[in-house]
Amino acid sequence: MADTGAISVAIPTPMRRFTGGAANVAVTGTTLAEALVDLGQQYPDLGGRIVEDDGRIRRFVNIFVNGSNARDLQGESTPVKAGDELTVIPAMAGGTGR
Amino acid sequence: MSARYNEILQATKRAIREVDATEARKLIDQGAAAVDVREQDEVDQGVVPGSIHIPRGFLEQRIEDAVPEHSQTVVVYCAGGVRSAFAAKSLNELGYTDVVSLAGGFNGWKNAGEAWHVPATLTSDQRRRYSRHLLIPEVGEAGQHKLIDAKVLLVGAGGLGSPAALYLAAAGIGTIGIIDADTVDDSNLQRQVAHTLDRVGMPKVESAKIAMQGLNPDLDVVTYQVRLTKENALDIFAGYDVIVDGADNFATRYLINDVCVLLDKPNVHGSVFRFEGQASVFLPHQGPCYRCLFPDPPPPELAPSCAEAGVLGVLPGTIGLLQATETVKLILGIGEPLVGRLLLYDALATEFRELRLKRNPACPVCGDGAHVDISTIEYTDAVCAVPSLASAAD
pLDDT tens per residue across span A21-63: 999 999 999 999 999 999 999 999 998 889 998 889 998 899 9
Residues B81 and B221 in one domain: no
- Give residue B307's pLDDT: 58
Residues B155 and B115 in one domain: no
Q: Which CATH number do you get for residue A22?
A: 3.10.20.30
Q: CB distance from A64 to chain B under 8 Å? A: yes
* Average pLDDT score over residue span A63-90: 94
Q: Taking all residues of chain B, what is their mean pLDDT, rounded to a whole number? A: 92
Nearest to A97 among B248, B273, B355 (CB): B248
B371 domain-assigned? yes
A1 domain-assigned? no
Best probe of the A interface among B272, B359, B363, by most A CBs < 10 A, is: B272
**Listed residues B96, B119, B142: the one ending a domain:** B119
Residues B102 and B177 in one domain: no
Question: Tens of pLDDT along B112-160?
Answer: 999 999 988 899 999 999 999 999 989 999 999 999 999 999 999 999 9
B179 domain-assigned? yes
Identity at B215, one-letter amino acid code: L
Alpha carbon distance A20, A25 (integer Å)? 10
B128 domain-assigned? no
Q: Taking all residues of chain A, what is their mean pLDDT, rounded to a whole number? A: 88
Do the Cβ atoms of B353 and B360 come closer than 8 Å? no
Domain residue limits at B202? 150-393
- For residue A91, the chain B residues in CB contact (below 8 A) are 250, 293-294, 297-298, 303
DSSP H helices, B247-313, are 250-263, 290-293, 306-309
Split into its structural domains, chain A has a count of 1
- Give residue B121's pLDDT: 84
A30 domain-assigned? yes
Contact B271 A93 (CB under 8 A): yes
Residues B109 and B219 in one domain: no
Residues B170 and B84 in one domain: no
- For residue A45, the chain B residues in CB contact (below 8 A) are none
How far lies B88's CA from each of B83, B103, B380, B387, in Å?
Answer: 9, 12, 65, 66
Q: Which residues of chain B have pLDDT under 70?
A: 1, 301-308, 381-394
Instruction: Tell me the pairing of strands A24-27 and A61-65.
Output: unpaired
Alpha carbon distance B250, A20 (integer Å)? 27
Minimal CA separation from B73 to chain A, in Å: 42
Nearest CA in chain A to B244: A95
Domain residue limits at A15? 7-90
For A96, the 3-state DSSP assignment is: coil
Do the Cβ atoms of B297 and B254 come closer than 8 Å? yes
Do the Cβ atoms of B266 and B366 come closer than 8 Å? no
How far lies B172's CA from each of B130, B176, B222, B338, in Å?
Answer: 8, 10, 15, 22
Residues B111 and B202 in one domain: no
- Give residue A1's pLDDT: 42
DSSP H helices, B113-231, are 124-129, 131-134, 140-149, 161-171, 204-215
How far lies B298's CA from each of B45, B251, B253, B305, in Å?
Answer: 59, 11, 12, 12
Best probe of the A interface among B183, B187, B302, B386, by most A CBs < 10 A, is: B302
- Give residue B393's pLDDT: 35
Contact A59 B296 (CB under 8 A): yes
For B274, which DSSP code? B
Residues B199 and B332 in one domain: yes
Nearest to A13 among B253, B276, B394 (CB): B276
Contact A95 B250 (CB under 8 A): no
- Give residue B64's pLDDT: 95
Alpha carbon distance A56, A26 (integer Å)? 20
Q: Which CATH number do you get for residue B190?
A: 3.40.50.720
- Positions of B marked active-site: 306
